[in-house]
């Protein structure tokens, strides 16, 4: 077989063979790391995507031979720890992903390393506690005022203690909690008849349920206004935080359980909508790669849509009149999140907001650097700010009235990045493009 320089075919992801004992074999893993890292060293197209690649290339360049053969394997952990599993190297940069015979999948190789570390008992208990989003959300919601007071970055008493005990950087903005979660507040609304041909079930995700319930209600009000019957379903986190920590078994259990419970909606003709791109990515792509033989997971993957993707497909000449100019300024900077791009559906948030009359829209398509729970950790926060600097600079350059990201956590992180460059810059950071759409539709 002749070796091609780069693949012209669409990227293909293979199932993750995590049940195979070879998956966590240390010798086989090290061999694969060296094979892939050597190819990366010869290519270097990903040098500016995140910190994993500069770290790797520095280790090689500073080694005795200037090649990978004199880099000690214990250096690889720093490369792995810098990866946020954003998937951008796989989807946008690497010319050697499948179907190319080099078969490079850098993010899933980083995941394999973390699974192997966990298998050896080297996972950190503190990190695992932070990923228990449902347990933490239920607990802190009961004491939301105290929780929100203690997590403020301005709190000089509790944040240093959190940094010391929980390894959460004292400067990192953390999500707020609410006394009543989205699901606690939700009363079934029959304003839109269930007989409507188009029916959706909204998977709000743990973040919206515990940390931003208003975003869930905005999504509902937008769908109501478009006369689309909708219900909420939430049974637990999608498992993205656990995936970042290499806890594949836990994620697979979530996938199996949640897909089974959503089956009744799918059988009745519902489309499943996810509000947060990371969670949408899990349902559509990561779960099927972990459980390729599970028919419920496969069906759910096929019936799940990003909420912007769905809404833009359901705005037409019959309801386009609902969209009005936002305000006098009417200018928006829109950040396209990595996990939106990883779905390979195009810029659906861009398409959606461009339907608003007279809007001035500037699009930023680059990593914010946050990476979910990864970006708030003490060892990662400064790195996350550094990776997100180009986005923050663009926000300052555009000088738009509103800043919005498809990822609510990314929006907050971008605001912090802007403040570090120019703390006099006052921008209105909204948590999701749906908030701009709601303004346009005169929704409170």
Helix (H) or strand (E) holding 304: strand 304-306
Task: Specify the pLDDT at position 1.
Answer: 41
Residue 171 belongs to some domain of the structure: no
Q: Which of 259, 291, 313 is the last residue before a domain boundary? A: 313
Say whether 394 sits in a helix, a strand or coil.
helix
* Structure tokens that stand for 429 in this block: 């950071």
| Domain residue limits at 141 | 125-166
146 and 75 inside one domain:
no
Sign of CA dihedral 58, 64, 65, 69: negative
> In this structure, are 152 and 193 located in the same domain?
no
Q: Provide the whole-model pTM.
A: 0.90
Q: How confident is the model at residue 130 (pLDDT cuts 50, 70, 90)?
A: confident
Judge whether residue 303 has pLDDT over 70: yes
Query: Are residues 71 and 96 both part of a single domain?
Result: yes
Asked if residue 352 lies in contact with residue 312, where contact means CB atoms within 8 angstroms, the answer is yes
Tell me what pLDDT residue 192 has.
58
Same domain flag for 341 and 424: yes
* Bond preceding residue 176 cis, omega within 30 of 0: no
Q: Which two tokens stand for residue 310?
A: 């769905």
Under DSSP, the state recorded for 377 is B
In a domain, 245, yes or no: yes
Is residue 77 assigned to a domain? yes
Q: In DSSP terms, which residues pair with 245 in a beta bridge?
A: none
Let me know whether 241 and 350 are in one domain.
no
**What secondary structure does DSSP assign to 330-365, as a single string?**
-EEEEE--HHHHTTTS--HHHHHHTTSTT-EEEEE-
Q: Does 191 lie in the same domain as 146?
A: no
Of 40, 387, 82, 391, which is closest to residue 244 (Cα–Cα)? 82
- Looking at the fold, whether 352 and 252 belong to one and the same domain comes out as no
Q: What is the pLDDT of residues 178-220, one digit of tens each?
A: 999 999 888 655 555 566 678 999 999 999 999 999 999 999 9
On whether both 32 and 53 belong to a single domain, the answer is yes
Query: Which residue's entry shows tokens 């810029």?
Result: 347
Domains of the chain: total: 4
For the stretch 48-70, pLDDT in tens is 888 899 999 999 999 999 999 99
Q: How far is CA 115 from the centre of its chain?
A: 20
Range with the poorest average pLDDT among 72-76, 353-357, 365-369:
365-369
- Output the average pLDDT for the chain: 90
Residue 174 located in a structural domain: no
Instruction: Give the residue from 313, 329, 361 where a domain finishes.
Output: 313
> Is the pLDDT score of 426 beyond 80?
no
In a domain, 399, yes or no: yes
Which structure tokens are listed for 255? 């996938």
- 353 in the same domain as 274: no
Average pLDDT, stretch 363-370?
89
Mean pLDDT calculated for residue range 83-108:
91
The answer as to whether 15 is a domain residue is no
Whether 301 is in a domain gets the answer yes
What pLDDT digit, counting tens, does each position of 260-288 carry?
999 999 999 999 999 999 999 999 999 99
Whether residue 303 is found in the same domain as residue 193 = yes
- Are 186 and 246 in the same domain? yes
Among residues of the chain, what percentage have pLDDT more than 90? 70
Q: Is 195 helix (H, G, I), strand (E, B) or coil?
A: coil
Residue 172 included in any domain: no
Q: pLDDT band at residue 43, thresholds of 50, 70 and 90?
A: very high
> What is the reported pLDDT for 2?
43
Which of 87-96, 209-218, 225-234, 248-257 has the weakest average pLDDT?
Answer: 87-96
The structure tokens listed for 341 are: 């791009």
The sign of the CA dihedral 33, 76, 174, 362 is negative
Tens of pLDDT, residues 343-354? 888 899 999 999
Give yes or no: residues 284 and 262 share one domain: yes
């Amino acid at each position: 077989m002749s070796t091609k320089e780069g693949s012209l075919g669409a990227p293909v992801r293979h199932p993750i063979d995590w049940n195979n004992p070879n998956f966590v074999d240390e010798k086989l893993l090290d061999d694969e790391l060296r094979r892939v890292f050597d190819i990366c060293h010869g290519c270097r197209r990903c040098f500016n995507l995140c910190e994993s690649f500069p770290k790797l290339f520095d280790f090689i360049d500073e080694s005795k031979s200037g090649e990978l053969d004199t880099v000690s394997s214990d250096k690889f952990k720093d490369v792995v720890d810098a990866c946020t599993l954003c998937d951008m190297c796989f989807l946008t940069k690497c010319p050697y992903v499948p179907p190319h015979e080099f078969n490079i999948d850098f993010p899933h190789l980083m995941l394999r390393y973390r699974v192997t570390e966990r298998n050896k008992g080297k996972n950190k208990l503190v990190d695992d506690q932070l990923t228990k989003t449902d347990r933490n959300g239920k607990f802190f919601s009961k004491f939301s005022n105290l929780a929100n007071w203690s997590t403020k970055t301005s709190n000089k008493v509790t944040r240093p203690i959190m940094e010391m005990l929980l390894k959460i950087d004292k400067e990192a903005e953390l999500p707020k909690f609410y006394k009543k979660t989205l699901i606690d507040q939700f009363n079934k609304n029959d304003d839109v008849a269930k007989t409507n041909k188009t029916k959706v079930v909204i998977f709000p995700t743990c973040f919206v349920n515990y940390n931003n319930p208003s975003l869930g209600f905005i999504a509902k009000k937008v769908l109501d206004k478009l006369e689309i019957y909708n219900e909420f379903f939430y049974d637990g986190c999608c498992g993205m935080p656990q995936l970042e920590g290499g806890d594949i078994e836990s994620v697979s259990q979530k996938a199996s359980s949640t897909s089974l419970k959503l089956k009744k909606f799918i059988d009745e003709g519902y489309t499943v909508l996810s509000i947060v791109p990371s969670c949408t990515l899990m349902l559509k792509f990561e779960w099927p790669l972990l459980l390729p033989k599970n028919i419920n997971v496969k069906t759910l993957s096929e019936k799940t849509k990003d909420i912007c993707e769905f809404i833009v497909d359901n705005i037409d000449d019959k309801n386009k009149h609902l969209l009005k100019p936002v305000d006098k300024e009417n200018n928006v900077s829109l950040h396209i999140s990595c996990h939106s791009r990883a779905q390979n559906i195009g810029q659906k948030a861009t398409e959606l907001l461009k339907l608003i009359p007279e809007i001035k829209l500037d699009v930023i398509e680059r990593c914010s650097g946050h990476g979910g729970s990864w970006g708030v950790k003490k060892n990662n926060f400064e790195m996350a700010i550094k990776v997100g600097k180009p986005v923050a600079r663009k926000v300052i350059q555009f000088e738009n009235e509103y800043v919005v990201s498809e990822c609510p956590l990314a929006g907050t992180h971008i605001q912090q990045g802007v403040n570090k460059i120019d703390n006099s810059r006052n921008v209105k950071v909204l948590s999701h493009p749906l908030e701009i759409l709601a303004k346009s539709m005169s929704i409170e």
